[in-house]
Amino acid sequence: MKQREIAGQNVAEIGLGCMNLSHAYGHPLSEADAAKVIDAALDAGVRHFDSAALYGLGSNEILLGKLLKPHRKNIFLASKCGMTGVDGKRVIDGRPKTLRSTLEQSLQNLQTDVLDLYYLHRWDKSVPIEDSVGELSRLVDEGKIKAIGLSEVSSQTLQKAHAVHPIAAVQTEYSLWTRNPEIAVLEMCRKLGSAFVAFSPLARGYLSGQVTDKNALVDGDIRKGMPRFQPEHLQKNLALLAELKLISEAQQCTMAQVSLAWLLHQGPHIHLIPGTTQISHLRDNVGASDIRLTSTQLAKLRQVFHPKHISGPRYPSATQLEIDTEEF
Annotated catalytic residues are 55
CB 129 within 8 A of CB 92: no
Counting beta carbons within 10 angstroms of the beta carbon of residue 149, is it exposed (0 to 12), middle (13 to 18) or buried (19 or more)?
buried
Expressed in percent and rounded to 5, the helix, strand and coil fractions of the chain are 50, 15, 35
Please work out, in degrees rounded to the nearest 5, the angle formed at the alpha carbon of residue 53 by the alpha carbons of 77 and 15.
30
CB 20 within 8 A of CB 59: no
Query: What's the rounded Cα separation, in Å, for the pair 239 and 89?
Result: 37
Query: What's the rounded Cα separation, in Å, for the pair 61 and 304?
Result: 38
Query: What's the rounded Cα separation, in Å, for the pair 290 and 285?
Result: 10
CB 75 within 8 A of CB 43: no
- Residue 291 phi/psi, 5-degree rounding, is -85, 130
For 277-316, letters b (16+ CB in 10 Å) and e give bebebbebbbbbbebebeeebeebbeebbeeeebbbebbe
Q: For the chain, what's the residue count?
A: 328
Query: What's the rounded Cα separation, in Å, for the pair 326 and 263?
Result: 19
136 CB-near residues (< 8 Å, 6+ apart): 99, 118, 120, 145, 148, 165
Query: What's the rounded Cα separation, in Å, for the pair 150 and 78?
Result: 12
